[in-house]
C-alpha cells in the first residue's frame, strides 16, 4: 500500500522514516509520535531551502560552542529583532550585496512557508506572487 494515496490525504509518517528524503526538516525528532504530512509539506520544504540559500547555512548547524542551532529559529529571531543583515553578513564580506527590501521579502516569504500549522502556509502560487512582489506580505506568526 503506498504511503500517500492521493494529494488530498494527510498521512502520519512514523518517526523512523523522518529525516529521509524530502521530509519536514525542522520537525524531525522534536515531537513524539507521528508527524502529519500534508500537501503543504512541499511549501514547508521550499521555505527551508529558501532560508538555506539566503543564509548559506545548513538547516541545523553548530555555533562556536558546538550548540545545535536550528536555522528556522535563528532566522525568526534575527527578523524579530530587526537584524536581517546578520543573515547575509558572510556574503557581504565576500562582496555580494542584497537590497534590504528584497532580503525582507525573501525572509518573510520563507517564514510564511515554514509555519508549523500547515493551514497557515501559503499555496505555492501565492509564494511565487510573494517572491515577485505582486502581493503585500504581512508579518507571519512565530513558526
Q: Does 24 fall in a domain?
A: no
Q: Does 65 fall in a domain?
A: yes
Distance (Å, whole) CA 92 – CA 116: 31
pLDDT in tens, 51-86: 999 988 887 765 656 666 788 888 999 999 999 988
Q: Does 89 fall in a domain?
A: yes
- Is there a contact between 74 and 110 (Cβ–Cβ < 8 Å)? no
Q: What's 48's domain CATH number?
A: 1.10.510.10
* pTM confidence score: 0.70
Q: Does 99 fall in a domain?
A: yes
- The pLDDT score that the predictor gives to residue 37 is 65
DSSP string, 47-71: HHHHHHHHHT--SEEE-TT--EEEH
Phi, psi of 126 (to 5 degrees): -65, -35
* Coil, helix or strand at residue 11: strand
Name the stretches of the chain with pLDDT < 50.
Answer: 1-32
Say which residues have a Cβ less than 8 Å from residue 53's Cβ, sequence separation at least 6.
Answer: none
Domain that holds residue 44: 39-132
Q: Does 123 fall in a domain?
A: yes
Q: Does 45 fall in a domain?
A: yes
Domain count, the chain: 1
Which of 39, 57, 38 lies closest to 48, judged by CA? 57
Distances (CA, A) of 41 to 36, 54, 64, 113, 125: 9, 20, 32, 9, 14
Q: Does 95 fall in a domain?
A: yes
Amino acid at each position: 500500500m503506498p504511503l500517500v494515496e492521493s494529494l488530498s490525504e494527510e498521512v502520519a509518517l512514523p518517526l523512523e522514516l523522518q529525516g529521509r528524503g524530502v521530509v519536514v526538516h525542522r520537525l524531525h525528532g522534536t515531537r513524539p509520535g507521528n508527524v502529519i504530512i500534508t500537501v503543504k509539506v512541499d511549501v514547508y520544504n521550499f521555505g527551508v531551502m529558501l532560508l538555506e540559500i539566503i543564509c548559506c547555512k545548513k538547516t541545523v548547524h553548530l555555533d562556536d560552542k558546538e550548540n545545535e542551532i536550528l536555522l528556522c529559529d535563528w532566522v525568526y529571531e534575527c527578523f524579530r529583532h530587526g537584524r536581517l543583515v546578520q543573515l547575509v553578513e558572510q556574503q557581504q564580506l565576500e562582496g555580494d550585496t542584497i537590497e534590504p527590501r528584497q532580503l525582507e521579502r525573501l525572509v518573510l516569504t520563507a517564514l510564511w512557508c515554514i509555519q508549523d500549522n500547515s493551514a497557515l502556509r501559503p499555496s505555492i502560487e501565492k509564494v511565487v506572487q510573494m517572491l515577485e512582489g505582486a502581493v503585500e506580505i504581512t508579518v507571519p506568526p512565530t513558526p
